[in-house]
Structure 1
Amino acid sequence: CMVEHMAVTMQSRFCRFAPSTRWRNLGVFGMLDETRHAQLDMRFSHDLLKKDPRFDWAQKAFHTNEWGVLAVKNFFDDAMLNADCVEAALASSLTVEHGFTNIQFVALAADAMEAGDINWSNLLSSIQTDEARHAQQGFPTLEVLMEHDPQRAQTALDVAFWRATRLFQTLTGPAMGYYTPLEQRKMSFKEFMLEWIVNHHERILNDYGLKKPWYWDKFLLSLENGHHAMHIGTWFWRPTLFWNPNAGVSKDERDWLREKYPTWEDNWGVLWDEIIDNVNAGRVGMTMPETLPSLCNLTQLPLGSAFSRHELAEHSLTYKGRLYQFDSEISKWCFEED
């Protein structure tokens, strides 16, 4: 709901500042769509309050400084509200809506229908049809920008793709790999990303004469680890969250994780073993945090959460007298570019 409200503002800026009359007219319809989406989210969450009071976060999230909310808000602040119309279209319409959310909404709607949740499936399908239309604003924008400033197009897409990846490692990754019941899992988060996101993004880059991001190999490495890091991190800092994260590391689930991620046991299993030993010994307090997480100044996600524990490294820079810390070399580069 928070993101939909932000999208209303972005579309209103398209109405006023977009460089063509057609785009400005599209902004009017987009603003109406995003307003409808926000109201749908609010109505659906309100109906669920009788099951869990935490659904009130649909309304109050925008007005809090809870760190998980800030990570989402930070990205969309930069992508929707701080960027000009051109870069907002590339980041939001092309990268996020076309490359990430549109595909996921189709899949989520199908899963909801299969599970018998008709209302949720209809809500997602209704929003997805609008998302598919909004996504089309990105392609003509990219085509025109490639004629005039291809390097700007390359940089804008590379920055948006990494930042969107980190966000969905937090939102979608744990849901697919840990929260979904084992018997209902159809693919791993990595398999989903490779089949639906990576291949699609590569085709877009090739079609428009763009190169793969310079960090491509590191991005693929992050697919092996980033969402596992975010999952164990959110579980450890569970007192600071507004949802109740599921550990999802039973024996059968660990077998599945090892099959999908051959390095999982060495990278993450040993950490969960320590947690399990403490829980079984009644030392639950040792599985609880004593501080808030140290966050990346770009993604607002915990430092060290982009890769495995074996790739931990310090990434920082001083800008205008202030020290900034980052979760990866890639995030540091994005900060320098923006």
Structure 2
Amino acid sequence: MGRFAYSKSQFQDLAQQALEQARKVGASDAQVEVSEGQGMSVGVRNGQIENVEHNRDKSLSISVFDGQRRGHASTSDFSAEAIARTAQAAFDIARYTAEDDCAGLPEVELLAIGRQQPQLDLYHPWDLTDYWWTSECDPADLASPEAVGRYAAERALSRLKARKLSTRKCPVLFESPLASGLIGSFTHAISGGALYRKSSFLQDSLGQQVWADHIDLIEDPTLPKRRGSAPFDSEGVATHKRSLVDGGVVQGYLLGTYSARKLGMQTTGNAGGAHNLLLQSRLTQAKDDLPAMLRKLDTGLFAIELMGHGVNYVTGDYSRGVMGFWVEGGKIRYPVQEITIAGNLRDMLRNVVAVGADTHTYGSKTTGSILIDGMTVGGAG
């Protein structure tokens, strides 16, 4: 696979060209994003290569403002004519859009312009994913193909002769890769879009006890070679390390410029989403590996795969299909399938009993396995 076709200076020239075109068509403000990507995926079945796919894409998008009206258009054609047409299309859309008092670019003093940018060591020209998967910014940090394949096979074999369960109430241990989804549910609920639309079960939760009192959640965009690292957000606003949850209490929301203005607050540098998130428990000890967490579970469900999208972010109601293992006396007894787990996220977050030291990073979220008490397991009667 070859190198990227465009250099940083060429991207800057294209962005400047797009801004000039936006100015020519009459925009009062404009924002431009230019990107290029390439990749390769290889499918293997029974030891034989089944398919090899190469992909390369590029995009230039323009957001223009006509006063308090916003329009957006994008193109994969980087020619001068195409950029001019894209700017005109964005402006034409803006002219027919209703005015919005919260529309507009972030305040200049909040941007990362002129700020000393940290060296985050994010760019490396190769990336590999698989299922079971491995994904890192630096290829040197990837797990070996042998390890990925071996673990995938072990997981598949462990599910043989799965049983069903009767309906019951019991503790549930979420495997660490799965537990990151709980962080995702929480961050969705404290995101600006959900809050200003009043579609979050955590409305007005700032300063409120939401998690168990031993839980902390840190957002740190400054970590080297991490997927969620960035010196600024998608609007150019500078990012900072901060606490989102301290002792179970919500310390901050995830806001971009628009949602912040809608809420009468200031952007938190989260246009485009959260950065690196680290969930920790003040009770966790170094010895709390997965076997130790199974002992803490004692008798209950160890969940390793969730199915469906049964989360209502307005009410917090949670219901998912699950595959995993039934545990008794801290030991895995047999695999289980065709069951559901249900609860309400408000109760689930408060009922976190323990977080393991068996940390796993999934995307931008890092956590150990999470043990939650008192969930309903739905089975065969």
TM-score (norm 1): 0.25
Which has the greater radius of gyration? Answer: 2
TM-score (norm 2): 0.23
Going by fraction, where is strand more abundant, 1 or 2? 2
Going by fraction, where is helix more abundant, 1 or 2? 1
